[in-house]
Amino acid sequence: MFEWLKENVAARLTGAGVMYGFLIFLATFVITSAIAALIIVKLPADYFHPSNEREFWVDRHPALRWAGLVAKNIAGVLLVLVGVAMSLPGIPGPGVLTILLGIMLLDFPGKRALELKLVRRQQVRRALDRVRERFNRPPLLLD
């Protein structure tokens, strides 16, 4: 097994292979960071405030609302999984912010408390407010 691993790894560690790997690394970092920044900028400043009611498509047909809720939760699970992967060393992207974005899409008991716990972390809050400030958006209101 080790011989097979040595042969395959050595075959891919050429100059071109390393360059392609670096370009993929860079592209995924830029794309995930841009998507996270776009969502953070588009959030209303009072999104995490207790007075903000967050009902999803209550004025839509029940079948459409149900389909939207299922799609929203699937997207949330995928974002949480991608965020966990990005939190690992060597994988590019804003891991904790992506996890937060995924949690924001999910529907489960205790969601708001978990969101607030994440957003109240000093590093996360600073990162969120810095992105919002860069695009001339007000900082997030928590309490």
Domain residues of the chain, as ranges? 35-134
User: pLDDT at residue 138 above 80?
Assistant: yes
pLDDT in tens, 26-43: 888 888 888 888 888 998
At 11, the pLDDT band (50, 70, 90 cuts) reads low
- 95 contacts: CB under 8 Å, gap ≥ 6: 83, 84, 85, 86, 87, 88
d(CA 46, CA 137): 12
**Residue range 121-130: average pLDDT?**
90
pLDDT in tens, 66-102: 999 999 999 999 999 988 988 888 777 788 888 888 8
Taking a C-beta distance cutoff of 8 angstroms, is the pair 40, 131 a contact? yes
Identify the pLDDT of residue 52: 76
